[in-house]
A and B are shown apart, each in its own frame.
Chain A
Amino acid sequence: MNKMWTVLAYSFKERIRSKSFKVMTLIVIAAILLLTQLPKWLGGGGEAQTQGTVAVIDESNLNLTAEGLSGNVSPLYTWQVLPAEELDAQTALLKDDKLEGVVRVNAGDGAPQVTLVVDKSEDASFAQPLMSYVGQAYTASEVGKLNLDAGEARQITAPPVLDLQELNAGGKSFAETFMPVYLLLFLLYFMIYLFAGNVATSISVEKGSRIKEILITKVSPGQLLTGKLLGVGLAGILQFALIFGVGAALIRFAGGGEGIRLGAFSVDFSILGGGTLAVTALVFVLGYFFYAALFGAAGSLVSRSEELNQAIMPVSILLMASFFAGMMSMNDPNGTLAVAGSYIPFLTPLVLIARVGAGELAPMEIMVPLLILAASTVLVAWLSSRIYRAGVLLYGQKPSLGMMLRALGSGKRGPAVSASAGGKTTSGM
């Protein structure tokens, strides 16, 4: 057991002293800092952003005002109400991209006629509210001509009352959760790949440099593999804690990036909440051990570390599949893929994060996949140690899936190494 701790301590130390560990920790923390704090530094305090100016040429007698338009159509635009002579000048400005749109309101025969000139139809998102506002103004003006008393006029012009009742109040919207969950998925994928991949690298270096032959006269392969998985895993947990600790502290004390948008999506990490982060931590630990055991088995089959990429390819593809399944599950957290995927161990880590982040899950829907993942991790680690044992003296063969299976078979009889701590004996004694 002592030897396992020595291996653990050595692997941990080797990992946290590595450049990639330091660089990645700093880069991710800097990225979180930028994403959450940048709008504050730039905006200087939450002033509503304007999406542009719309010129309104009012040739009707509806008395349209900038305040009225801003209040009733959209506060996101700056409205300018201008006289008819300005039409050509404003149209020229629109062509020069200085305006978002030119609206011309004519009295027309009876109902007013609205002409809306924009660069492209997607710039006319305000057309609907504009029309209803002009319609209301026209109604109000026509009602005014009927000489009704104030009560009657109000009754005619009163808008219908909308009472919006949310059945799933407080639920998550796709637009709100997309970016935070996407970034979380990506970070998790990257960290599992980095740390589990590091186990493979470290094993292949030991094998390629042939020091493994010396090591296993001192430590049993089981202890060596366990110590390495735990040591590298501990370094991963430390990095996870650093990244999420700093992230959580930033969100708590400096705000969660409300208002920042990437494309059409907001990046407000505060909506993830403690529950999601707790599940993320668990999934990271289990996902790491599951994949590290697989990567480790692949790494122990190579003769030289140059062959590593080829050997770990099947495992990398599994992890990548998990990432894509996770992305697809975000769109539809309760779809077939998401639900089924969360119970398939090699997909569980990232699919479950997507479901927890983007949907509402019952505790059992989280617990059961995690338990299945934990059980599979134990199984995979056991298989992996068999392959690792068999791979110790396996040189000069192309690493492949078939070889992995053969190693698994021979691992049952595998080199009966026990080191001085073990009690296993070689058969035939």
Chain B
Amino acid sequence: MTLEIRNLGKRYGDKTVVDGVSLTVREGQAFGLLGGNGAGKTTTIRSVLGLLEYEQGEVLWNGKNFAANRPSIGYLPEERGLYPKETVSEQLLYLARLEGMKKAAAQQALKGWLERLDIAEHEHKRVEQLSKGNQQKVQIISALLHDPELVILDEPFSGLDPVNSDMLSSVVKEELARGKAMIFSSHQMMQVEQFCEDICILKKGIVQIDGRLDDIKRSYGRSSLILRSEADLAPVLQAGGYEGTKRGAGEWALKIDSEEEAFGLMRRLAQEGVPLLKFEIKEPTLHEIFIEKVGEAV
């Protein structure tokens, strides 16, 4: 089960909102679709779902036209939507029936999910009576209840406290282990790093960077080097042309362009007899990459 987007383009009048986006989401894998506000994430998702018509490119499911071979989809939109006046069970069963589930099967699945997310006691309450976090859980159930093949989660963690965030994290991991293909869009980079092997960062509808997260980090170049010493490193670093920042307690952090550069520096420090207590090359965080790729023009 593979979702492929090839060279997708979408315009509103003269304004191009998505331009040449390509990505591939594989079975059992979460794809991180990242970007600032207005980058074109939601437009890309809506185009995949067929909610919007696009002018350019194609969307494929298992190599065939997506619209003609539509998989069952679990969609958690950025703008949450439930019937405020209907009870939790009524609307979830209705949504499951619309996916072709039999009533008994839907009821059984619903029971399991309500217990799994710890909101079984709210089954017969109206949605408007629930807290925001519990409404969010109902929304998540609505996306997963019918055991969809393709799951699209847009900001799934918003409104959840740390306990419930952990609960959802384990749910997402379970779903991935069960072989779902997943598109995961979020501004919380920690969560993206936790789930996603592949990512793509959009800005103004154009892909800034994409590929495997590990490769992106490695090839990103600019890493951080952390040094700790009882001696004062400032003169040595200045002599070498580095602008080290003192992090306190005998620690310095500096930017390096490659691992070789770091090793060169270490050799020099050893030749000069500077004792090192710590030498650590840190990969750039996704947060840093995101800020640099998206933030520069902001």
> Which A residues lie at the B interface, using CB under 8 A?
2-3, 6-7, 10, 14, 205-206, 209-219, 392-393, 413-420, 423-429
Contacts and interface: CB of A to CB of B under 8 A. Distances in A.
Nearest to B54: A428
Given A213-B75, A215-B98, A425-B67, 9 more contacts: A3-B100, A7-B98, A10-B97, A205-B85, A209-B81, A215-B95, A415-B51, A420-B72, A426-B54
B77 A213 contact: yes
Contact of B98 (A210, A213, A219, A423): A219
A217 B67 contact: no
A214 B95 contact: yes
Interface residues of B, number: 36
Interface in B75-127: 75, 77, 79-86, 91, 94-95, 97-100
Contact of A6 (B50, B68, B84, B98): B98
B94 A210 contact: no
B65 interface: yes
B82 A209 contact: yes
A417 B51 contact: yes
Interface string B130-147: 000000000000100000
A419 B72 CA distance: 9
Contact of A210 (B53, B55, B67, B81): B81
Contact of A417 (B50, B56, B81): B50
Of the listed residues B50, B53, B79, the one surrounded by the most CB atoms of chain A closer than 10 A to its CB is: B50
A219 B50 CA distance: 11
A275 to B, nearest CB: 41
Contacts of A427: 53, 55
Contacts of B155: none
B193 to A, nearest CB: 28
B67 A429 contact: yes
A324 B95 CA distance: 42
A416 B58 contact: no
Nearest to B139: A214
Contacts, number: 93
Contacts of B77: 210, 213-214
A418 B50 contact: yes
Interface of B: 46, 49-59, 65, 67-68, 70, 72-73, 75, 77, 79-86, 91, 94-95, 97-100, 142
A415 B56 contact: no
A interface: dominant SS: loop
A2 B83 contact: no
Given A6-B97, A420-B72, A213 B51 contact: yes
Nearest to B72: A420
Contacts of B97: 6, 10
Of the listed residues B55, B59, B68, the one surrounded by the most CB atoms of chain A closer than 10 A to its CB is: B68
Given A3-B98, A6-B97, A10-B94, A211 B67 contact: no
Nearest to A6: B97
B79 A425 contact: no
B83 A217 contact: no
16 contacts: A205-B85, A206-B83, A210-B80, A213-B75, A215-B98, A217-B49, A218-B95, A413-B53, A415-B51, A416-B50, A418-B67, A418-B70, A420-B70, A428-B57, A429-B65, A429-B67
Of the listed residues B51, B75, B84, B86, the one surrounded by the most CB atoms of chain A closer than 10 A to its CB is: B51
Nearest to A224: B98
Contacts of B86: 14
A209 B73 CA distance: 20
Contacts of A429: 58-59, 65, 67
B52 A393 contact: yes
B52 to A, nearest CB: 6
A393 B46 contact: yes
Contacts of B83: 205-206, 209, 211
B52 A425 contact: no
B50 A210 contact: no
Nearest to B49: A217
B84 A209 contact: yes
Contacts of A14: 86
Contact of B79 (A213, A218, A219): A213
Contacts of B46: 393
A209 B158 CA distance: 17
A426 B98 contact: no
Contacts of A218: 95, 98-99
B62 to A, nearest CB: 14
A318 to B, nearest CB: 29
Contacts of B73: 217
A354 to B, nearest CB: 38
B198 to A, nearest CB: 23
A150 B18 CA distance: 113
A429 B54 CA distance: 9
Contact of A213 (B55, B59, B81): B81
In the complex, the 7 A-B pairs of residues with the closest C-beta atoms, listed nearest first: A210-B81, A211-B81, A218-B98, A210-B79, A420-B70, A425-B67, A417-B50
